Structures are given as C-alpha cells and as structure tokens.
Amino acid sequence: MKLSSSPMANLTPESVIHSLQNWWSLAGVDLDYDEQPSTLLAVEPVMPAPVMPAPVAVTERAPAEVKKPVQEESLPSGYDDFIVWLAQDNGLLEAGWSKQRVLPQGALMPEVMVISGLPEKSRNGEVHLFNPDNQKLLDKMLAAIGCDSKQSYLTTISVTASADGRIDEQHWPSLKNRLLHHIGLVRPKRVICVGDQAAKIIFGEDMLTARKNKQFINHESSKTEAIVTFHPRILIERPIFKAQAWKDLQMLTRISAP
C-alpha cells in the first residue's frame, strides 16, 4: 500500500514565512492600535469646554464709623448760673436722652456730697435723683455716719436718664470735667460715690476695685476725700452687702457734731 505524503512535508521555510505574514496582515497585527479598547461605531468623545470661574464681585468696604469728639462744654462760673444752665441749656450732651431733667439738691459746703451716675425712675415713672425706696436707705446710711439731710448734697453725673441706663464712654471725659467743676462750686468736705458707673467715670476703676481704698478728688486746686460704695439699689436687692457698705463709710473722716 502506497501512502501519500503529508501536506506539511512539501512546505519550505519561505512558504511558511509568507503564509504567516498573510495571516498577520489579515488579523491586523501590522496595524497601529490604541491602548484603550474602542469600537468602530464609537462616537468620538467631545471634550467639555473649560469652565471659567465666575468673576468675583468686588465690594468696597464701608469705612469704620468714627465717633466725633465730644465738644467741651462751656461751664458757668457761678453756682446759681450753673444750676440754671443744667436746667435749661439745650446744648447739654445728655439733652437728647430724655426731656425730664433732675437737678441737684442740698446745701452748699455740705458735710457730704453724694454722687450717682444717672437719675432713677420710680414705680409711677417719675424721675428722681434716687427713687423713694433707695432714698430712704441712703438717708439711713448718712445718718449712720452722723450726717442728716441738711448736711448733705445729692447729685447725679448726668441730669437725664439714658434709654439703656448707661453712659457711653465717649461722654465720660466731658461729664467728669463738668462734675469736677460742680464739686468745686459746692465745696463739700467729703464725697460718697455710689455705683459702678460713677466709679468708672470719676476714678477710672470699677466699683469693687475703687472701694478698696479711700480716694481723693482733685478739683480747682483743692483735694477732697472720697469713698466708693454700693448703690442703695444694690443694697436693697442684696442685703448681704450692707456690712461691706458700712465698712466703706467708716473710711471717711468722722463727722463732728454741729
């Protein structure tokens, strides 16, 4: 039996190489290709347009509010003219706070001049140097050191009450200057300053700090001894401080009997 030879037996190396080249060409091996897979029908992606940042609106910063310096008051040189000025002058820096003005009361050259920050309202809305309840306690405090109403002089730093019960710091220098002039006209032997606000304006310290030592007020070439203590309103609200207030009063020079 004669066997026919295998088809591979008649192939030469050249024919094999030629055959492989034809297969590579058909398979597309000799073509350029992308690393990322793609399809013939794929749509060329459209790159989005770069987004430009929105312009930032530039706003001009409003200039900081500048407080106008308070104009110095022209103070009358005589006591009577000074009181009329407090009662009637529309140029007072506190004139616009309230229409109700409260004037000082008492005799000149008193044993004690009592100074508070602002007038007070009573329960019926009337304005006083001290409301009736606080006035009663203040009278007892003065009596405890041998001073009656005929020997005392009561005043507030401002003749009107502000809406919020405070005095803006920009007014402190002018009000202190007015008060020193006032003290010079009254010529008291001693001064009792009551409350935190009055202590800050007169002595530049809060009440708790200022009351630790006897103070002195320099005015028109004179010097008057002074103390700082609790406002009667605080003593009524917190009676526990009455003992402290009594210690404050004892720092004053003893009042001699008339």
Residue pLDDT, tens place only, 220-230: 768 999 999 99
Sort strands 112-116 and 190-194 into parallel, antiparallel or unpaired: parallel
Q: What percent of the chain has a predicted confidence (pLDDT) above 90?
A: 62
Q: How high does pLDDT run on average in the chain? A: 82
What span, in angstroms and rounded, lies between the C-alpha atoms of 143 and 165?
28
Alpha helices in the chain (DSSP H): 13-27, 79-88, 132-144, 172-186, 196-203, 207-210, 232-237, 242-249
What span, in angstroms and rounded, lies between the C-alpha atoms of 230 and 71?
31
Q: What percent of the chain has a predicted confidence (pLDDT) above 70?
A: 71
Backbone angles phi, psi at 163, to 5 degrees: -65, -35
Tell me, what's the pLDDT at 54? 56
Tell me, what's the pLDDT at 44? 52
First to last CA, the chain: 168
Tell me if 139 sits within 8 A of 106, measured CB to CB: no
What span, in angstroms and rounded, lies between the C-alpha atoms of 102 and 120?
9
- Average the pLDDT over 87-95 and give the result: 94
pLDDT of 17-76, one tens digit each?
556 555 445 545 444 444 444 443 444 555 555 555 555 554 455 444 445 455 578 899
Neighbours of 23 (CB within 10 A): 10
The residue type of 177 is N
Residue with the two structure tokens 């990322």: 36
pLDDT of 149-203, one tens digit each?
889 999 999 999 998 889 999 999 999 999 999 999 999 999 999 999 999 999 9
Distance of CA 224 to the CA centre of its chain: 33
DSSP 2: P
* Residues contacting 178, CB < 8 A, separation 6+: 73, 75, 157
Tell me if 182 sits within 8 A of 82, measured CB to CB: yes
- Residue 124: band (very low, low, confident or very high) from pLDDT cuts 50, 70, 90: confident
219-232 CB burial, b ≥16 within 10 A, e <16: beeeebebbbbbbb
Tally of residues, the chain: 258
Phi/psi region, residue 141 (left: phi>0; alpha: psi -120 to 50; beta: rest), is alpha
The class that CATH gives domain 105-249 is alpha beta
Neighbours of 98 (CB within 10 A): 18
